[in-house]
Structure 1
Amino acid sequence: MEFVIKISQFLLSLSLLIVLHELGHFIPAKAFKTRVEKFYLFFDVKFSLFKKKIGETVYGIGWLPLGGYVKISGMIDESMDTEQMAQPAQPWEFRSKPAWQRLIIMLGGVTVNFVLAFIIYILMAFAYGDEDISVKSIKDGYWIENPLLVDLGFKTGDKVIAIGDSKVINDSDIKANILAAKSVTIERNGSQKTIDLPEDFLGQLSTSKDRSLFEIRIPFMVGAILDSSKNKGIDLKQRDIITAINGREIKYFDQFAPVLENLKGQTVTATVLRGNETLTRELQVDNNGELDIAIANDPRRFSELGYYDIVKKEYSFGESFSVGYNRFTGQISSYFEQLKLIFSPSTGAYKGVGGFKAIFDIFPNTWSWQAFWSITAFLSIMLAVLNLLPIPALDGGHVMFLLYEMISGRKPGDKFMEYAQMVGFFILIALVLFANGNDIFKAFFN
């Protein structure tokens, strides 16, 4: 069921972004009386799942979910329709239109993606407000489990004071600034210490089996009892919190492992908090020192129990515009920073580039409209920025040649554009293979 929820969110988000992106090309093309021959969600290699001709345009859904396209008459694109281009130019064709109209048509897709992300951030600010965790309220620091962080000198219990030059106020500040950071300032036992990050920190992190960073320490909240567990059938419910073993109080989940390690194969008495009621349950520790019980995360419940404070802000519709704008511009700036790191080989960030599986993995296992729209807004920005890259097979490549034409007054020849399109297509295929190859490599070797 979890897979169905993830794949549903993934396909819905992808379909929404593709359709709106292509509409961004379609609408100005029609406005400038340019013929659009096809409008497709996904690629129709050899056959379509659905197609219907309305007017001069065939609308359809392909079977290959790697994107979508509009086929505009008289345009050298991925269809490589050289036969049409060999004919005399017609008034309804893309190549017959003024350069400024062609530029608007080509920029329409990325414009829609940027506008969509901006609107989503505004509406999310209004509907959900801001919710974060104050780092000052995290009394016993963070859980450091990743061996990479441990080797760099971080320890469980460290409090994060700053990432690089940016002071950490809320928990989200860590993830927002860690990608480009060169150092992390922590507080340990009342003293501050700065730990330098290696230049290839992102590369090491992306190839590590454990990609966790600074995790908030939480109690052992029961999520589900595994089918293979010896504790299957015990009266434990989801959201129960195990607070002690054999009378020994255990505050955080990360403290259970060393306790259970010494109780392998034994029956233990667990103290369980259910709502406001305290219960006891007899549990079996397996030979690996585990209870085989998955943990759950409920920030609001943990806040009620005093583990940390949740900071909540609500915005009026008017205030949501400025908040949405700040999120929008911040996300664009962050993504450009990520691209800069990816194209700097010394950082090793290119190892973290992912394809469709990486995108699929960022969607949650449970349906959350807040998470869905947040991810969709980010993907919309990502799609827009990537499409602006000056690669001939992408919108950015067409824009590059159009700007050259408008500045120089000379239009690149059709034969040159055909060759450029082929080169761009092979570059694009190489990038897609690299990104998805990274996914495969991580799945098998990490």
Structure 2
Amino acid sequence: MGTITFLLVLSFLVFFHELGHFLAARYFGVKVHVFSIGFGKQIYSKYWAGTTWQIALIPLGGYVKMKGQDDTNPALTESGDDSYNTKKPWQRIIILFAGPFANFLLAAILYFTIALMGAKTLAPIIGNVSPDSVAFQAGLQKNDEIIRINDLEIKTWDEIGKVITTTEGALQFYIKRDNNLIIKIINPQISDSQNMFNEKIKKRMIGIAPIGEVITLNLSFYDSLIYAYDKTIFASTMIFQGVQKLISGIIPSSEIGGVISIGKIISDASESSIIALLTITALISVNLGILNLLPIPALDGGHIMFNLYEMIMRRKPSEQVFMFLTIMGWIILGSLMLLGIYNDINRIFLNN
């Protein structure tokens, strides 16, 4: 069942990505020969509205084959107003960007759906107070519920951290303890900490940790839109920074995961709850959007780079350079996929 869920989720994400390319291409009058979910041998197809819609044997991706554009033949050129290569560079860039944009849009829709269904988050209730911290000195205790900081109403634990790290000076905490309201003035201190990439950082802290109680957010339609926007931006920033840390060597290459890891994550999420599955699907969708925008010639980002070059230099890259960089791009992608699978297999043996 987990494998079926994985294939359905991946196919759904690929479909949405390729649909972005398809709609943008058709908007600019580019003929689309094939809309494929999967690679390799065709196992199902239907010709409709001038396009062959197909499902292929290897369900680990997909493609839109446009007139005048073919990744398997980078030097391909075709004449006519309905050809991709006769469009202006800015139009081609929009067609290329539409795929990753569709992934970001899908993630926002999924996060919005999660918000309407009842997003889960940590309650703003203290579980631990570090000895000798400013919170301990102020008299904060376990089971204290933080209901307001200064003039901002607090509903989630994440909001506490945001207020502490983004404001200056002392803060006025409104604490609910045994149905009594207590006010504490606390001046956060700069302390050593770690970010999500295990880097040592310094930030404003007061020395408290959550109790771990999970609550359901009751968000209005407007608040759900804000939630979806914030979550999509946060996921995009997190993944983009992760790629940066990977390139700079802060995150080791052993952390790269492949299709096996993705399949297990999706399978575990599907067994947990529908909200967990939607959350993982949204995160993977953002991941696909970010990764496809990397300036690797075989990806959308690489093709965007070529078109930006043409816009600036008023000429296309030479055919030899274009072919060489595209082949190198495929080698880089293939190497990353093999590394991901190798890491996945290593983790399986280590866990056993």
* TM, length-normalised to structure 2: 0.73
Between 1:376-385 and 1:49-58, the stretch displaced more is 49-58
CA 1:127 to 1:170, structure 2 compared with 1: closer, same or farther past 3 Å? closer
Between 1:416-425 and 1:62-71, the stretch displaced more is 416-425
- What does residue 333 of structure 1 align with? 237
For 2:57 and 2:128, locate their aligned partners in 1 and report how far apart those are by CA, in whole Å.
Answer: 52
For 2:248 and 2:322, locate their aligned partners in 1 and report how far apart those are by CA, in whole Å.
Answer: 30
The 3-state SS of whatever aligns with 2:282 is helix
CA 1:33 to 1:318, structure 2 compared with 1: closer, same or farther past 3 Å? same
For 1:7 and 1:140, locate their aligned partners in 2 and report how far apart those are by CA, in whole Å.
Answer: 43
CA 1:93 to 1:309, structure 2 compared with 1: closer, same or farther past 3 Å? closer
- What does residue 12 of structure 2 align with? 16
**One-letter code of the match for 1:342?**
L
Larger-Rg structure: 1
- CA deviation profile, 1:155-197 (whole Å, cap 9, x unmatched): xxxxxxxxxxxxxx97779xx9xxxxxxxxxxxxxxxxx8877
**One-letter code of the match for 1:14?**
L
- What does residue 252 of structure 2 align with? 349
Could you list the runs of 5+ residues in structure 1 that have no partner in the other structure?
142-168, 177-193, 203-215, 217-306
**One-letter code of the match for 1:94?**
Y
Question: Of 282, 298, 319, which aligns to 2:223?
Answer: 319
- CA deviation profile, 1:249-285 (whole Å, cap 9, x unmatched): xxxxxxxxxxxxxxxxxxxxxxxxxxxxxxxxxxxxx
**One-letter code of the match for 2:51?**
T
For 1:74 and 1:195, locate their aligned partners in 2 and report how far apart those are by CA, in whole Å.
Answer: 55
Question: Of 116, 121, 135, which aligns to 2:106?
Answer: 116
Question: Of 370, 376, 385, which aligns to 2:290?
Answer: 385
For 1:170 and 1:126, locate their aligned partners in 2 and report how far apart those are by CA, in whole Å.
Answer: 17
CA 1:198 to 1:114, structure 2 compared with 1: closer, same or farther past 3 Å? closer
- What does residue 52 of structure 1 align with? 46
Q: CA deviation at 1:18?
A: 0.2
**One-letter code of the match for 2:64?**
V
CA 1:356 to 1:308, structure 2 compared with 1: closer, same or farther past 3 Å? closer
CA 1:38 to 1:415, structure 2 compared with 1: closer, same or farther past 3 Å? farther
For 2:270 and 2:282, locate their aligned partners in 1 and report how far apart those are by CA, in whole Å.
Answer: 19
Higher helix share: 2
CA 1:135 to 1:395, structure 2 compared with 1: closer, same or farther past 3 Å? same
**One-letter code of the match for 2:256?**
V
For 1:135 and 1:440, locate their aligned partners in 2 and report how far apart those are by CA, in whole Å.
Answer: 40
- CA deviation profile, 1:74-119 (whole Å, cap 9, x unmatched): 1241x2265x53xx63332111111121111111101111111112
The 3-state SS of whatever aligns with 1:411 is coil
The 3-state SS of whatever aligns with 2:271 is coil
The 3-state SS of whatever aligns with 2:298 is coil
- What does residue 134 of structure 2 align with? none
Question: Of 61, 66, 82, which aligns to 1:67?
Answer: 61
**One-letter code of the match for 2:265?**
I
Question: Of 264, 275, 283, which aligns to 1:361?
Answer: 264
For 2:348 and 2:109, locate their aligned partners in 1 and report how far apart those are by CA, in whole Å.
Answer: 35
Could you list the runs of 5+ residues in structure 2 that have no partner in the other structure?
131-154, 163-190, 200-209
Q: CA deviation at 1:19?
A: 0.4
Q: CA deviation at 1:373?
A: 1.1
For 2:220 and 2:157, locate their aligned partners in 1 and report how far apart those are by CA, in whole Å.
Answer: 24
**One-letter code of the match for 1:429?**
G
**One-letter code of the match for 1:80?**
N
CA RMSD of aligned residues (A): 3.2
Q: CA deviation at 1:22?
A: 0.4
- What does residue 186 of structure 2 align with? none
Q: CA deviation at 1:402?
A: 0.7
Question: Of 373, 397, 400, which aligns to 2:278?
Answer: 373
CA 1:412 to 1:357, structure 2 compared with 1: closer, same or farther past 3 Å? same
The 3-state SS of whatever aligns with 1:366 is helix
Q: CA deviation at 1:56?
A: 3.3
The 3-state SS of whatever aligns with 1:343 is helix
User: 4+ residue stretches of structure 1 with deviation over 4 A?
Assistant: 169-173, 194-202
- What does residue 29 of structure 1 align with? 25
For 1:132 and 1:418, locate their aligned partners in 2 and report how far apart those are by CA, in whole Å.
Answer: 51
CA 1:419 to 1:126, structure 2 compared with 1: closer, same or farther past 3 Å? same
Alignment pair present for 1:426 and 2:293: no
CA 1:171 to 1:415, structure 2 compared with 1: closer, same or farther past 3 Å? same
Trace 1:247-326 onto structure 2 (pairs within 5 A): 309-326=213-230
Q: CA deviation at 1:62?
A: 0.8
Trace 1:94-105 onto structure 2 (pairs within 5 A): 94-105=84-95
CA 1:418 to 1:123, structure 2 compared with 1: closer, same or farther past 3 Å? same
Question: Of 57, 80, 83, which aligns to 2:73?
Answer: 80
- CA deviation profile, 1:196-242 (whole Å, cap 9, x unmatched): 7799959xxxxxxxxxxxxx9xxxxxxxxxxxxxxxxxxxxxxxxxx
CA 1:444 to 1:95, structure 2 compared with 1: closer, same or farther past 3 Å? same
| Contact 1:49/1:61 (<8 A) preserved | yes
